[in-house]
Chains A and B, each alone.
Chain A
Amino acid sequence: MALRVFSLNLVKTNRNLLQNGFKSPAPPTGHMAPAASFATEVTVQAAPAAVQKQKVSKAMRAYLKRANEHDEFMKTQHLEFQIGKRHLANMMGADAETFTQEDVDEAISYLFPSGLYDPKARPAMKSPDVVFPARKAAEFDETGRPFHSLFYTGKPNFFQLLHDIVEETNKLADLEERMLRRGNKPDENQKLEIDGFHLLPKDQLELLLVESIADIEYSNFCNSMDRLIASPYAYKSKTFIERFLKPLMDQSNQLEVPKPKIDGEGRQYITTYECLRKTARADVTVRLPGTGKISINGKNISYFEDENCREQLLFPLQFSELLGKVDVEANVEGGGPSGQAGAIRWGIAMSLRSFVDQEMIESMRLAGLLTRDYRRRERKKFGQEGARRKYTWKKR
């Protein structure tokens, strides 16, 4: 956000300069300031005194015109947004001054209910700063000379970033060598923890850099970051690394474990609806103090003739050591025996979460019992004998 606002401000200063007719000469400023905001902080004042009197280059004039237009456009958009927000606030009977973006989203989903599947396709009202992507400020002075030494790479911010990473890596390598000579070892306590993080995805990196990058360039970025992180002294450049890390979600805490209900006999029970696998669909009820009774569509485990399917039913029970301690009731429809068994297995595993501790839940997750199996039959392709198999090739 800050980045975008900043670039807008810059555009404004540029316009002021145009109006002033470049009357205020200033010494050239450094082109690359803190890497947090990438290259948007260039100012047009950076012209050396000698070239100051030369006429403004065509590119610069075109840029200033464009910047001007963009600025005007954003201004009207901001105004419209403010008015729209006020209207919404009035409609919802809220105070317009304290109407936040969250309230806006809520009001929109209330006033314009949409059944469209993709959230992106539903009506929305967002700040123009979010809707219109940030743009780069001028990268050259009024004579048309670029500020950045990497300007002609076309992606100065990206390549500057690569340079910075390598610089950081070299620094760490030097440090490591010095420490080795002195006989010191890296501090184990300060070791960089990256388990819960991953590198910024490509689209987010592009937003950060205000540049679009190719796949191979992104993989170059990943590789050089990996090299940096692999260094034993990586914790020394923690602040640099952390800017390009994104926290991952904690998987086993992701889904809330439901609280068991109490039935007429005073037993705890949990019902999981919509247990799906292939084309089978089941709902499973697990009751806690039980004797290991299993009933599927009114029959016992002999509902499944196949030995393997029976084993699948018992798998989560046996894994969580609750076999013979709970009762299971299931209603299944659709699909074949293997799909039905898979659906019930998932349902039992999901229900059992309420009756075991967190450690066991994590263990069950690692065993792949809590993941919904989305695999389906792969379709046949035309020009092929099956999903993957090709027709026999005959030359003539």
Chain B
Amino acid sequence: MSFLSRLAVKSSGFSCIRRMSVYPQHYAEPVVQKNKQIEQKSELAKLHHVPIKAAVNKASDTVFHDDTKEKMVNYITKKGNSALARSLLSKTMELIKRTQTEHMNLAKGDDKDKINTNAETLLKQAVENCRPLLQVTAIKRGGVNYQVPVPITTKRSYFLAMKWLLEAAREKERKVSLPEKLAWEILDAAHGQGRVVKRKDDLHRQCESNRAYAHYRWS
């Protein structure tokens, strides 16, 4: 159904599926970043007559805002304590920055310029390096469970990458703090090493060896 009719359907107030959202379905998502607004100018011109949802309470348009960081905070959060999660992540970022700067200062000559000291890009690089392409799911055929490789969506691959990073960070001794361990894991993953990247490679290897079962996905 196109945008036009979706509007009509919703304003007439009937729908077959029960929706839990407070906003009616014709409300559009807000575009919080100003540079994004300039980018999508032609599309946003169409929203002139469309009501917009309110910006969420962690949206902002500053240089400190980063989508990956925001997602990471959500995953770190336990029992709704996002303030703690935020402070943990900022401590992690600080530790990354410190270690990288130390490396840079110890390095000599040309190596100095090669060392990345930007914690945000390092985090992004780490998540990018940990993203799996495939996953195995158990499918029962003839009383036997087969591990069948299935492709996953981009969103899920990002979720898995961040989840694995956190799982690796939480698997630690009591004396080590979470930010410390998380910083190590992120630094390792950003350089394509470490347990999380290995986990991804293991999964890919398993998918590769089980490729003969792939047809169970549809037959």
Determine if chain A interacts with chain B: yes
A binding-site residues for B, Cβ under 8 Å:
194-204, 215, 218-219, 222-223, 225-226, 229-230, 248-252, 306-308, 311-312, 315, 318-319, 338, 341-342, 346, 362-363, 365-376, 378
17 A-B interface contacts by CB (under 8 A): A195-B48, A195-B49, A199-B8, A225-B5, A229-B4, A251-B51, A312-B57, A318-B62, A338-B57, A341-B57, A342-B57, A363-B37, A366-B31, A366-B44, A367-B55, A367-B61, A369-B55
When C-beta atoms are compared, the residue in chain A nearest to B65 turns out to be A311
- By a CB distance below 8 angstroms, the chain B residues around A226 are 1-2, 4-5
Tell me whether B9 and A367 are in contact (CB under 8 A).
no
CB neighbours of A378 from chain B (8 A): 20
Listed in ascending order, the chain B residues whose CB lies under 8 Å from chain A are: 1-2, 4-5, 7-9, 11-14, 16, 20, 22-23, 30-32, 34, 37, 44-55, 57-62, 82-83, 86
Residues of B contacting A196 in the complex (Cβ-Cβ under 8 angstroms): 48-49
Give the docked Cα–Cα distance between A197 and B55 (Å). 25
Query: Which residues of chain B are within 8 angstroms of A251 by Cβ–Cβ distance?
Result: 47-52
Please measure, in the bound complex, the distance between the C-alpha atom of A222 and the C-alpha atom of B86, giving whole angstroms: 46
Minimum CB–CB distance for B65 against chain A, Å: 9
Q: Is the pair B52, A366 in contact by a Cβ cutoff of 8 Å? A: yes
- Residues of chain B lying within 8 A (CB to CB) of residue A365: 52
Asked whether A308 and B61 contact (CB < 8 A) given A199-B8, A366-B52, the answer is no
What separation, in Å, do the CA atoms of A198 and B9 have in the docked complex?
10
Contact A319 B4 (CB under 8 A): no
| Nearest CB of chain B from residue A192's CB, rounded to whole Å | 11
Does A219 contact B48, Cβ atoms closer than 8 Å? Answer: no
Which residue of chain B has the shortest Cβ distance to A312 in the bound complex? B57
Complex Cα gap A197–B16 (Å): 24
**Does the CB pair B31–A215 fall under 8 Å?**
no
How far apart are B78's CB and chain A's nearest CB, in angstroms? Answer: 16
Q: Give CA–CA (A252, B52) in the complex, Å.
A: 10
Contact B11 A198, beta carbon cutoff 8 Å: yes
- Chain B's nearest CB lies how many Å from the CB of A240? 16
B135, chain A: closest CB distance, angstroms: 25
When C-beta atoms are compared, the residue in chain B nearest to A337 turns out to be B83
Q: Which A residues are CB-close (under 8 A) to B58?
A: 308, 312
A248 to B27, CA, bound (A): 13
Which residues of the other chain, B, contact A219 by a CB distance below 8 angstroms? 1, 5, 9
| A368-B44 Cα distance, complex, nearest whole Å | 13
Task: Check if A375 sits within 8 Å of B12, measured CB to CB.
Answer: no
Closest beta carbon of chain B to A242's beta carbon, Å = 13
* Set of chain A residues within 8 Å of B54, measured between Cβ atoms: 346, 368-369, 371-375
- Whether B5 pairs with A367 at a CB distance below 8 angstroms is no
Contacting pair B8 A201 (CB below 8 A): yes
CB distance A252 to B32 under 8 Å? no
Are B82 and A308 touching (Cβ within 8 A)?
yes
Kindly report which residue of chain B lies nearest to residue A321, judged by CB atoms.
B34
Taking the closest CB of chain B, its distance from the CB of A63, in whole angstroms, is 31
Q: Which residue of B lies closest to A201 (CB)?
A: B12
CB distance from B14 to the nearest CB of A (A): 5
CA A222 to CA B12, docked complex, whole Å: 12
Please indicate the chain A residues that have their CB under 8 angstroms from the CB of B8 in the complex: 198-202, 222
- How far apart sit A378 and B20, CA to CA, in the bound complex (Å)? 9
* B46 contacts across to A, CB distance below 8 A: 195
Give which listed residue, B14, B22, B45, contacts A374 with CB less than 8 A.
B22
Contact A367:B14 (CB < 8 A) given known A196-B49, A226-B4, A251-B48: no
Min CB gap B200→A, angstroms: 30
